[in-house]
């Protein structure tokens, strides 16, 4: 079949975030390796969905958008299984949260999730990662659920987030990312939660002085493509794109984890010669004047206890089979470590 002169790829934030860099790396690899035959253009800031990020899945599915690097959260209105990653403290409570995350991606539960995505009409290419979602706010240091009482927190438009924050005692508001910075500037909301690599580049520190590192949920991203578009590629080109997505995904995961894991991410980025400007997140956040509160396991537990009913409720909504498989995958990984 004939190739398009240019394919469109959708992402939510700006190109300077880990998300944006992971997407750009993918399109660069594809362009280079196809000698310029396959051109994919990254459209940042939810341009292709005119700001309505949770519509992204629908628009890839119906072919309006060819490719996307999308977070599991933005697909969860359409694919309830993806709420697995939004179960509060489900992965964070594991002995090593990154080992646990990788175990899900590689394990049975990951297969079930990918199947759920593809059953709904989108071709999955590879996993990326935005990172664990941390909390920032303009009011005070947060170390316990009590500190968050009544605080207005912007969350993405997904019910499980509302449930989790209500269970903690905060006052969550749903809002598109494209409206969020204005809401933060105007003080419409007191806080927000996102991976560091997403909120740092938009200079959240100009408004929020406090970060709570509680890594309550993770935001894995997926490289996906419209199935009809996928079929137009020759077998060789499919292989080329698939590999590029996997490599870009690895790069993105490392960007999201640098200085937050055991050093693996740093070593990987160094090995491919793509070390980012900032290689120590906590130091950088302190540099720009933020108070970083890294919760102790006991402090984390206090939050997890509050949100335990939410996990119970959502287990059945997500599907017992998938949640149990994820627990088994994580347990096996922890045991073999």
Partner 1 sequence: MIKKVFDNFEELLGSVILVVMAVITFANVVTRYFILYALAFTEEVTIYLFVWLVMLGTAIAFKKGANLSMTFVYDKLPARGKKLCFFASTALSLAFFALLAYLGYVQVSDEIALSVTSPSLAIPMWWYTVSLPVFSVLIIVRIMQAAAETVRGDEFRRGC
Partner 2 sequence: METLIHEPAFWTIALFIIPLLIRVPIAVALGSAAIFVVWNWDLGYQMLSYSFFSGIAKFPLLAIPFFILAGVIMEKVGIAERIIALIKQLVGDMTGGLAVATVIVAAFWGAVSGSGPATVAALGLILIPGMAEAGYDKAFAAAVVSVSAGLAIIIPPSISFIVYGDIMQQSVGTLFAAGVLPGIVVAAFLCVSVWLVSRVHGYRGAPRGSASEVLRALRDAFWGLFTPVIILGGIYGGIFTPTEAAAVAVFYGLFVGVFIYRTLTVRILYEILSETVAATSVVMIVVTCAGLYSWLGATVGLIDKIAALLLGISENPVVILLMINIILLFAGMLLDAISIAYVFLPILAPVIMAFGWDPIWFGVMMTVNMAIGQVTPPVAVNLATPAPYDGHDVALARRLSRSLMRRGTLWLHQ
Q: Which of 15, 99, 114, 162 binds partner 1 (CB under 8 A)?
A: 162
Of 94 and 158, nearer to partner 2 (C-beta) is: 158
Q: Confirm if 229 and 312 have CB atoms less than 8 A apart.
A: no
Is residue 27 near partner 2 by the rule CB under 8 A? no
Tell me the closest approach of the beta carbon of residue 157 to partner 1, in angstroms.
Answer: 3
Binds partner 2 (CB under 8 A): choice among 1, 2, 150, 186:
186
Tell whether residue 78 is a contact of partner 1 (CB under 8 A). Answer: yes
φ and ψ at 214, to 5 degrees?
Answer: -120, -5
**Would you say 101 or 168 has its CB closer to partner 1?**
168
Q: State the binding partner of 174 from partner 1, partner 2, none, CB within 5 to 8 A by kind.
A: partner 1
- Token pair in block for residue 93: 């409570």
Is 224 strand, coil or helix?
A: strand
At 217, which helix (H) or strand (E)?
A: strand 210-219
- Tokens coding 65: 């958008």
Complex with partner 1: residue 53 or 136, whichever CB lies closer = 53
From 23-31, 42-50, 71-79, 226-234, give the range in contact with partner 1 by CB under 8 A.
71-79
How many Å separate Cα 35 from the centre of its chain? 31
Which region among 55-63, 98-106, 163-171, 247-255 touches partner 2 (by CB under 8 A)? 55-63
Tell me which stretch binds partner 1 (CB under 8 A): 87-95, 96-104, 125-133, 152-160: 152-160
Terminal-to-terminal C-alpha distance of the chain: 47
Q: Which stretch binds partner 1 (CB under 8 A): 21-29, 163-171, 247-255, 329-337?
A: 163-171
Q: Which of 268, 241, 270 is nearest to 32 (CA)?
A: 241
Residues in the chain: 337
Under rule CB under 8 A, residue 158 binds partner 1: yes
Label the pairing between strands 221-225 and 123-127: antiparallel
Q: Does 50 bind partner 1 (CB under 8 A)?
A: no
- Token code pair at residue 268: 């990987």
Residue 242 host element (H or E): helix 235-257
Closer to partner 1 by CB, 47 or 171: give it.
171
Q: Least distance (Å) from partner 2 to the CB of residue 120?
A: 17
Verify binding: residue 51, partner 2, rule CB under 8 A.
yes
Alpha carbon separation from 109 to 77, 113, 180, 320, 330 (Å, rounded) = 19, 6, 32, 11, 10
Least distance to partner 1 from the beta carbon of 268, Å? 36
Cα–Cα nearest to 129, from 95, 164, 98: 98
Binding site for partner 2 (CB under 8 A): 4, 8, 43, 47-52, 55, 58-59, 62-65, 179, 181-182, 185-186, 188
């Amino acid at each position: 079949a004939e190739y398009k002169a240019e394919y469109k790829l959708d992402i939510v934030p700006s190109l300077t975030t880990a998300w944006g860099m992971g997407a750009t790396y993918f399109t660069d690899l594809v362009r280079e390796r196809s000698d310029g035959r396959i051109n994919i253009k990254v459209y940042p800031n939810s341009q292709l969905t005119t700001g309505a990020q949770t519509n992204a899945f629908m628009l890839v599915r119906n072919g309006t958008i060819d490719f996307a690097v999308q977070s599991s959260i933005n697909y969860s209105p359409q694919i309830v299984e993806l709420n697995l990653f939004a179960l509060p403290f489900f992965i964070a409570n594991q002995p090593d949260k990154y080992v646990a995350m990788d175990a899900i991606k590689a394990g049975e539960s990951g297969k079930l999730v990918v199947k759920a995505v593809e059953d709904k009409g989108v071709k999955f290419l590879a996993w990326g990662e935005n990172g664990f979602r941390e909390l920032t706010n303009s009011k005070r240091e947060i170390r316990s659920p009590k500190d968050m009482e009544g605080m207005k927190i912007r969350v993405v438009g997904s019910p499980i987030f509302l449930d989790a924050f209500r269970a903690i005692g905060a006052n969550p508001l749903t809002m598109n990312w494209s409206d969020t910075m204005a809401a933060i500037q105007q003080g419409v909301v007191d806080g927000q939660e996102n991976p560091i690599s997403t909120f740092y580049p938009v200079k959240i520190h100009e408004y929020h002085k406090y970060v709570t590192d509680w890594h309550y949920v993770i935001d894995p991203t997926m490289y996906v493509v419209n199935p009809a578009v996928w079929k137009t590629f020759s077998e060789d080109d499919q292989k080329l794109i698939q590999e590029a997505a996997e490599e870009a995904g690895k790069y993105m995961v490392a960007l999201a984890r640098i200085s937050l894991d055991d050093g693996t991410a740093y070593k990987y980025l160094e090995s491919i010669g793509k070390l980012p400007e900032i290689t120590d997140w906590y130091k950088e956040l302190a540099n720009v004047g933020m108070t970083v509160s890294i919760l102790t396991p006991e402090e984390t537990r206090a939050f997890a206890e509050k949100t335990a009913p939410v996990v119970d409720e959502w287990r059945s909504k997500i599907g017992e089979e998938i949640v149990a498989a994820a627990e088994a995958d994580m347990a096996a990984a922890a045991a073999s470590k």
